Structure formats: C-alpha cells, structure tokens
Amino acid sequence: MQIVVATISHTPYAQIICDTIAESSKVRGTGIARRTPEYVISKMEAGNAVIALEGDVFAGFCYIEAWGHEKFIANSGLIVHPDFRGKGLAKKIKEEIFTLSRKRYPDAKIFGITTGLAVMKINSDLGYKPVTFSELTTDESFWKGCQTCKNFDVLTRTEQKMCLCTGMLYDPSKESKSTEKNTVKPPVFNRLKQIKEKLFLKKNK
C-alpha cells in the first residue's frame, strides 16, 4: 500500500473517488458534501491531495482546501474504498494529509466538520479540538459546499451556527506538547452526536 501526494498522473482515479464518496453517503445515511471529478482533478494538479493505492487499485483519498486567504485549511473528502476498510487506512491517510497541510500552510489553522465518530477520533489524536462553528472560517465559499449535504437545511435553519456535524480545529499557535491532553475519547463524541440528533429531531416534529 502506497500513500503519496497526488499529481496529474492520478487524474484517471477522479471518477472512482467521486463515486466512492457518493456511495458512502448513501450507505451511511449521513451528510457528505459531493465533489465533481473536475474539482478532484484540480486538487491533484495543485499538489493538494493524497491518494492511497495498492498497485494500480484505488484505496483511499483526501484533499486540502484553503479558505480565508489561506488562514484556514480544511482536510476534506476523506474516503476509503469499501475493499480496504477496517484496516486503519483512514488514519494513515489523515496523518499524511495533515503532514502535507502543515508543510504547505505552516501558519494556517486546520479545521473540519464531520458526523463520523471515527474521523473525530483521528482528528482528536492529531491535536484537533471540538469548537463552535463561529471559530471556523467565515468564508461563504466553504459553507456553500455544504449545499449538496442532506443536512443542509439544518445548517440553514440555525443560521450557520450549528449542524449535525461537529466542528474541530487544530491551531498551530496553541499546539500542546501533551498529546494525551488533546485526546477526546470516542464516547464523548458519541454523546455529542446523540444530543444534536435529538435536538433537531424534536424541532422537526
């Protein structure tokens, strides 16, 4: 298994990447913002993505987005092909894209929003902390990317203050020497997710 910085040579994988993201959204029943092959290719050409391959077979992918004049960076589109799940590949891809982000944008705050407990745990291990949406980028282009998510109406109703996703932020200026202090246990995230789901379910009744 190789996890490398994606280049123009990897553009033939753009369609399967988008298809895998779309299928994952259906199976999980959670919100995943969709991307087009053209958008994925643009990230590869800019050197702002990593791809996991086993030989010539696609295994996983993730890319970097820059917002607010590169003050904020998001590691987005993390996906692992079903044939390679359950092997810790998502964590390895996340570590590679995080390293690439720190190298290319050393002063930027790295953030993400997700409903996935596994991704929250990985982010926490890397030093991210749960934050309110007000602490994330105010760049409208980022939030417009949520329009293809099934939960976009929730984000709209709350005036972009919260959603079923949890916001997480890594601030290099506040990097802790203790990894243990930064780690948040999965049950904490699970409880947070349950509270959000109950809150919005009540509003919809």
Q: What is the CATH number of the domain that holds 151?
A: 3.40.630.30
Amino acid letter, residue 106 = P
Report pLDDT for 190: 62
Closest by CA to 61, choosing from 97, 103, 34, 114, is 97
Give how many domains the chain has, as a whole number: 1
Closest by CA to 50, choosing from 85, 92, 109, is 92
3-state secondary structure of 68: coil
- Give the number of other Cβ atoms within 10 Å of residue 126's Cβ: 20
Task: Round to whole Å and give the CA distance between 142 and 165.
Answer: 14
Encode pLDDT of 152-168 as tens digits: 888 888 877 778 788 89
- DSSP letter for 175, please: -
Mean confidence (pLDDT) of the chain: 83
pLDDT band at 28 (very low <50, low <70, confident <90, very high): low
Task: Round to whole Å and give the CA distance between 143 and 152.
Answer: 9
Q: Find the domain containing 33 and state its range.
A: 2-204
Task: Round to whole Å and give the CA distance between 201 and 204.
Answer: 5
Closest by CA to 2, choosing from 93, 80, 64, 68, is 93
Whether pLDDT at 107 is above 70:
yes
pLDDT band at 202 (very low <50, low <70, confident <90, very high): low
Whether pLDDT at 177 is above 60:
no
Task: Round to whole Å and give the CA distance between 205 and 202.
Answer: 5
Give mean pLDDT, residues 176-203: 53
- Give the number of other Cβ atoms within 10 Å of residue 45's Cβ: 14
Number of H helices, E strands in the chain: 8, 7
pTM for the model stands at 0.75
pLDDT band at 178 (very low <50, low <70, confident <90, very high): very low
Report pLDDT for 105: 94
| DSSP H/E element including 84 | none
